[in-house]
Amino acid sequence: MFLINYIKEVAAAIGSLLKGMRRTGYYFTHHKEIITQQYPDNRDHLNLPERFKGEVVMPHNEANEHRCTGCTACELACPNGTIKVITKFDITPEGKKKKAIDKLVYHLELCTLCNLCIEACPSDAIKMAQTFEHSVFDRSQLTKILNNPDSKIMDGVE
């Protein structure tokens, strides 16, 4: 009786192993089921969703204009001091002084990509870009100035 049970148990054990092996074998012979992406090779057709948070950028239009008013709301919203807004005073045609942005310094190395600055910006001046290959040889290269040189604020943005 013991022997029969023993043999039965061994047979069941082998059966369970074979069952698992069959599943592995199935994928081994069905290449269509393979979903691995060959990453650096598929760069050309790698489509990241438009909401993907890669880095903060400031879009400019063709006339080199942005929408940033220099209100520093993003700087205040940022939890770790990633953004520094440096403002200057422009002289308007009427001769009045007007606050404008000089530089918007952005430290990609500090950024946690939390999206809080973009939520906070009242004039939609900044957005997330879908880039993700950020490795550089020197950390200082990760400190970026988001507004283009000589860029101006778009008309009608207050």
Contacts with other proteins by CB under 8 A lie at 12-13, 16-17, 19-20, 22-24, 35, 48-49, 51-53, 77-79, 112-116, 119-120, 128
CB 65 to ligand SF4: min, Å? 13
Q: Which residue is associated with the tokens 């013991």?
A: 2
State the Cα–Cα distance between residues 57 and 121, nearest whole angstrom.
Answer: 13
Name residues contacting ligand SF4, limited to 5-64 (CB under 6 A). 56
State the Cα–Cα distance between residues 63 and 61, nearest whole angstrom.
Answer: 5
The residues, ordered by sequence, that sit 6+ positions from 118 with a Cβ below 8 Å of its Cβ are: 56, 74, 126, 127, 128
Q: For residue 89, which amino acid is it?
A: F
Name residues contacting ligand SF4, limited to 99-128 (CB under 6 A). 111-117, 120-121, 123, 125-126
User: Binding residues for ligand SF4, per CB under 6 A?
Assistant: 56, 68-74, 77-78, 80, 82-83, 85, 111-117, 120-121, 123, 125-126
